[in-house]
Structure 1
Amino acid sequence: MVARQELRLLLKERSLWWVGGLFLLLIGYALFNGVLQTTQRDSAQAALVAADAQSRAGQLAQLQRIMAGTETPTPFGNPANPANMAGGLGAHYAVMPSAALAPVALGQTDLFPSQFKVTHQSKVNFLHNNDIENPWHLLSGHFDLAFVVVYLLPLLIFALSYNLLSGEKEDGTLRLLLSQPLALPTLIAGKIAVRAAVLLGAAVLVPLAVLLVARPQALAMPGATLWWALVVGAYALFWFTAVVAVNAFGRSSATNAMVLIIGWVVLVLVVPVLLNIAVTHISPAPSRAELATRTRVVTAQAMSQNAALLATDYEHVDKPDVLVPKDGRLAMSGRAMANYRIQRQVDDTLQPELDRFDAQQAQQQALVARWSAVSPAAVAYEGITALAGTGHSRNAWFMAQITAYHQAWKDFFFPRIDGGLAITEADFAHIPAFAWRDEAPGTLQAQAARAVLQLLLPTLALLGVALWRLRRYRLV
């Protein structure tokens, strides 16, 4: 009965229309942007995979023509040369596909690529060639559903609920209501139920309906969609409980609004920044500039040590027949061997640096995960991006698979380069191919469950404060 009456009042005052309409517009634009960005990324990845398949088929056909004597190979376009195939000629893209819920949170997709062209070169050349410290990247981002939920949903909750009890008290209707057989907690529950139904219905049901239409693959992951709804619901519940706790102190509507806004600024804006500063101080982020400088120094040293090979003449320019395999072997040119040795030396020398770099990143992320509970906004964002597959966890999983694929690539080609063995038609079927493997479902569920738990604990604390104050609530 309280909920029905509250709904009539909100509709009469048009406040629900304005807030609900604004929220739907924000959600609609965020979903449009998320679906658009994800679709463009999926299309680009599909084009890369198709181009790789076409390139590999063309290389096999070219090798067949060379072996049949109908085509003369070129120095750097010879598919029989293992150094060429291990490098830019035969390199293929390793792709991390978008998750089913990717449109709800674009996360770090503007900073960390979801595809890499793997070659026999040191992985520093393709893993760390993106400038994640670009100020433009750090200051700009995508407007997605995660932003709407984490940053704007609390403000809309405040707009509808800051005067939950204070408005009734200031209008003189609270005493009249409580003179009926109606408990104060029941009155609050009815008021909250209407507002929660409107905002959570828009925040959860509308995105799910859009995803089921725009990304049918979401149907194959009902567990992820359920956990996403639980994370959003737990985050909204925290702020609704905060509203009740603030109203329970019996202050004026203006005071309630000020306290809630201050709380939002502290928990959503200030605490995450302080957390980032503390983590950076305790475990400084690895320096991309330092790694790039070290790479240039090591590369210059390797080039100096292989200068003699680099200076060799191109005998295959005047004698193209040497490019054709003889009895399964191929004469490797000096420059090709020099480039191979340089890249191998750079890779071996920089491996300890890369291991230290990865360890620093892992330590920093562990600290963030441990202390993000101090900010419900940080917890909700980490949970949503994890379910959307755009957070740090899935990216780290992708990096681990890239490392394994790079090692398999080198294990296949390096013995052939060292032994001067030509690539044969039969070898094409055994060239390593990247195959994406999803994380175990339990890992994703554990991350989401931790986020829900970290949101419910402070919610229960606020609920205890609210109930304690409501028992002492003064009507005058």
Structure 2
Amino acid sequence: MRPAAKPKEPRPADAWRHELRLLLRSRLVCVALALLFLLASLAVWSGLREVARQQQTIARLADLQQQDLAAQALKHGRSGDAGSAAYYTFHSSWDPPSPAAFLALGLRDAVPYVLRIRALALQAQLHEGESFNPELALAGRFDFAFVLVYLAPLFLIALLYELVSGERRAGRLDTLLALPGGGRGLWLRRAGLRVGLVFACLVLPVLAGAACSAMPLPALASVLLCTAAYLAFWSGLSLCLAAGGRSSAAQALSLMGCWALLTLVLPTLAQAVLARAVPVHQGVDLMLAQRQAVHGAWDLPREATLAQFFRSHPEWRQTAPLPAGFHWKWYYAFQQLGDERVAPQVADYRQGLIARQAWTERLGWLLPGVGVQAALHRQAETDLRAQLAYQDAVAEFHARLRAFYYPFLFQERRFTPEDFVAQPVFRSRPAASSWPAGSLLGLGLIAGLALVLALRALGRVRPNRT
């Protein structure tokens, strides 16, 4: 007699096709994947629409700026008064969105991306636009970062939580473990298929949005790596718990608890602790302090104010003495002294903000949701560093504006209509997109750890005990 032939192990391609057919037979799975694709598409579309709205606002602002300059030239050009021209002429500044901004709008929802600047004290102009309804900003913008951080883990949990317990409950676990290609390979194949479909549902809208916004390939690559690492972490965590011997309901509750803890509770507690450990005053406090210094100068002797100004700006010391009554050079002198008075507070304010940002990025090494948001906001240039860079660009333009007007004020030169045309023009900062290497490394490490633990847990799945 011939020995019985050993059952052939199915080819990998056939096994994957078989698992895909089984998966797509589930109406619940198809609905879940379609819903995730729809949510990701809506988030990308919403982000593109918001970016387009901001670009239109900036373009419209350029036209309004030219109209305003023409009106001011007609009104003040004949008088020759440089002080009035500097006081009444607003100059537009803007922070254009990056090609990746549609994925994570970040601080562009809470702080102004357009400012109109005059040659007066700067700090009040920088921070007076920060007033917004905190209740509206609390929920955040519905963008791709929101879908990835908060919603994608829920879909992974729904697809993976009963990967093993469902087969145990149906009485098929022993048979599946005894089949060729069963065991850990079977679980990895099924989990990999589910995670791959979730990844595709998230990435396909991103690719379409990247094509519409002309997003650079390095930026797109970092977004894809960030998405893959975050999904890998939640896949590993879900498989670790799914491989246990508990019921499906118990595993679902455990995973939902992990989701609430890692995405809601711990980040909120960590931010509260960070706010107490690194206290930072609001920008409105700087605005008030600077305005108090400026308004208080009206009650000080004019000669003492100019003497203080000349100590830090000796190039204008040879100006003519102040005449009786009001004079613009005294007015602009105490405006600049107001900025110099709060300069130490401004430095402390910025250092505190940067310290908080650095600790938030370190926190992302332990909380993957925080790490994903930090990585996406850095790549999209919508984080704190991008906002501070815009403020630096505005400060540099404001310094050029003062340098343009001061010769007319302190040398008492006539300001002509031609000088209106020669005024400085704001130049937006060049795109400085950088790879969020630290955040990506932290995500990769924590995702790798979760996957290793998942592999060990899946290898310990045993048949039902009789």
TM-score bin (small chain): 0.7 to 0.9
Percent identity of the aligned residues?
27
Deviations 1:78-127 (A, max 9, x none): 684322333331x3111111111222222111211112222211111211
1:254 to 242, 249, 254: 249
The verdict on how the C-alpha distance between 1:302 and 1:137 changes in structure 2, with shifts beyond 3 A counting, is farther
Deviations 1:362-404 (A, max 9, x none): 2222222222322100111111122222222211221222222
Contact 2:365–2:446, Cα closer than 8 Å, also in 1:
no
d(CA) in 1 for partners of 2:47 and 2:338?
39
Q: What secondary structure, in the 3-state scheme, does the structure 2 residue paired with 1:373 have?
A: coil
Which residues of 2 match residues 109-120 of structure 1 at below 5 A? 109-120=108-119
Does 1:263 find its partner at 2:258?
A: yes
Deviation at 1:348, TM superposition (A): 2.2
Contact 1:111–1:137, Cα closer than 8 Å, also in 2:
no
Which runs of 5 or more residues in structure 1 are unaligned? Answer: 63-72, 309-330
Counterpart in the other structure of 1:70: none
Counterpart in the other structure of 2:438: 450
The verdict on how the C-alpha distance between 1:201 and 1:470 changes in structure 2, with shifts beyond 3 A counting, is closer
Deviates more, 1:202-211 or 1:254-263: 202-211
Contact 1:79–1:85, Cα closer than 8 Å, also in 2:
no
The verdict on how the C-alpha distance between 1:11 and 1:306 changes in structure 2, with shifts beyond 3 A counting, is farther
* Number of corresponding residues: 432
Q: What secondary structure, in the 3-state scheme, does the structure 1 residue paired with 2:92 have?
A: strand
d(CA) in 1 for partners of 2:269 and 2:113?
29
Does 1:199 find its partner at 2:198?
A: yes
Which runs of 5 or more residues in structure 2 are unaligned? Answer: 1-13, 304-322
The verdict on how the C-alpha distance between 1:375 and 1:356 changes in structure 2, with shifts beyond 3 A counting, is same
d(CA) in 2 for partners of 1:473 and 1:209?
41
Deviation at 1:246, TM superposition (A): 1.4
Deviations 1:8-60 (A, max 9, x none): 22222212221012112212322232122211111111111122234345656
d(CA) in 2 for partners of 1:409 and 1:81?
16
Q: CA RMSD in A?
A: 2.5
Contact 1:373–1:379, Cα closer than 8 Å, also in 2:
yes
1:39 to 26, 46, 52: 52
Which residues of 2 match residues 399-438 of structure 1 at below 5 A? 399-424=391-416, 427-428=419-420, 430-438=422-430
Contact 2:93–2:114, Cα closer than 8 Å, also in 1:
yes
1:473 to 449, 461, 465: 461
The verdict on how the C-alpha distance between 1:367 and 1:4 changes in structure 2, with shifts beyond 3 A counting, is same
Deviation at 1:239, TM superposition (A): 0.8
Deviation at 1:238, TM superposition (A): 1.0
Deviation at 1:341, TM superposition (A): 3.3
Deviations 1:302-349 (A, max 9, x none): 1222689xxxxxxxxxxxxxxxxxxxxxx9982544532342232222
Does 1:285 find its partner at 2:298?
A: no
Deviation at 1:276, TM superposition (A): 0.4
Counterpart in the other structure of 2:339: 347
Deviates more, 1:296-305 or 1:113-122: 296-305
Q: What secondary structure, in the 3-state scheme, does the structure 2 residue paired with 1:263 have?
A: helix
Taking structure 1 as the reference length, what is the TM-score of the superposition? 0.84
Contact 1:394–1:439, Cα closer than 8 Å, also in 2:
no
Taking structure 2 as the reference length, what is the TM-score of the superposition? 0.86
Which residues of 2 match residues 161-172 of structure 1 at below 5 A? 161-172=160-171
Which residues of 2 match residues 166-245 of structure 1 at below 5 A? 166-213=165-212, 215=213, 217-218=214-215, 221-245=216-240
Deviation at 1:426, TM superposition (A): 5.6
d(CA) in 2 for partners of 1:269 and 1:470?
28
Deviation at 1:154, TM superposition (A): 0.3
Contact 1:271–1:374, Cα closer than 8 Å, also in 2:
no
Contact 1:286–1:361, Cα closer than 8 Å, also in 2:
no
